[in-house]
Amino acid sequence: MRLDKLLANMGYGSRKEVKVLLKQKAVTVEGEVVKDSAMHVDPVKQNVAVFGERVEYVEFIYIMMHKPPGVISATEDRYDQTVIDLLDPYVQHFQPFPVGRLDKDTEGLLLITNDGNLAHNLLSPKKHVPKWYYAKIDGVVTEADIEAFANGVMLDDGYETKPGELVILSSGAESEIELMIQEGKFHQVKRMFEAVGKKVTYLKRISMGPLQLDAELELGDYRELTEEELSALIKHNA
C-alpha cells in the first residue's frame, strides 16, 4: 500500500500532513529516511517508523457504541446525523459501518466495524445470534405474553418469529421487560409487542451474542472492543 495512505489510515494526519512529515525526514522504512509519499510498502513485513516509533498496522477496527436516540444506524444520511458522524476522524479512516440497525429512537449497544466477514456472520439468520433488549411497554405485560413470545408470534406481514425469551421486570400500566430475540427483522421488538396488542415506548439493546453494553459508556460514547470481547465474538461466530 502507498506510504501516505498507510500513515493517514493509521492516524498520522491527512495525506497533506503526512507529506510534511516526510519532508521533515520523520519517516523511515527499514531504517532509511523516505520522502516519497507514493512509495509502496508492506506494513506487516517492513518496519515503517515515524520519529523512530514503529507504525503498528491495523486492518480492522471494532467499536462498541452506546447509540443515542435521534441518530441513524447508517454510514450516511441526507437529513440526520449518523452513528459514523459521531466517530473521530481516526476511526472514520477505517471506513467502518454499523453491524445491523437500531431504529432512530432506539438506544444501546451497537457494534461498528470494517470487518465484513464478522459483520456478515453476526447478521446471518443461520447463526441465531441472541440479542437482549430492555424495554418499557405501555400496558400490562403478562405470562400469556411470555408464552406467546416463546412460541413465536406472527408479525403484521405474516412472518412467524423464532422463539423469544421474555422476562417481566415489572408489570403495571407501564411495564418493564427484557426480551431476547434471535433475529433482526425490521422493528422486530416493537412489532412483536404490537402482535400482542402493546406498545414499546422505550427500547435499548443491552447485548448481542457475547457482547454486553459497557455500563460506563454514556449515550453517544464509544470505545474499541477489548481483546477478550473480540475473541469471544470471533469464537461465538466460528
Chain residues binding ligand URA by CB under 6 A are 102-103, 106, 187-190, 203
Using the minimum distance from each CB to ligand URA, give the nearer residue, 113 or 161: 161
**Cβ neighbours of residue 144 under 8 Å, at least 6 residues apart?**
196
The distance of closest approach from Cβ of residue 116 to ligand URA in the complex, given in angstroms and rounded to an integer, is 22
Alpha-carbon distance of 179 to 134, in angstroms, equals 7
Write down the least CB distance from residue 95 to ligand URA, Å. Answer: 23
Q: How far is the CB of 118 from ligand URA (least distance, A)?
A: 20
Q: C-beta of 103: minimal distance to ligand URA in Å?
A: 4
Name the residue nearer to ligand URA (CB basis): 13 or 69.
Answer: 69
Marked catalytic residue, from 36, 103, 105, 138: 103
The Cα 71–Cα 78 span in angstroms is 12
Name the residue nearer to ligand URA (CB basis): 4 or 107. Answer: 107
Q: In this structure, what DSSP letter does residue 10 have?
A: T
Q: Which is nearer to ligand URA, 3 or 203 (CB)?
A: 203
**DSSP SS3 for 173:** coil
d(CA 126, CA 212): 21
42 is catalytic: no
* H runs (alpha helix) in the chain: 3-9, 15-23, 89-92, 116-123, 143-151, 188-195, 227-237
Catalytic residues: 103
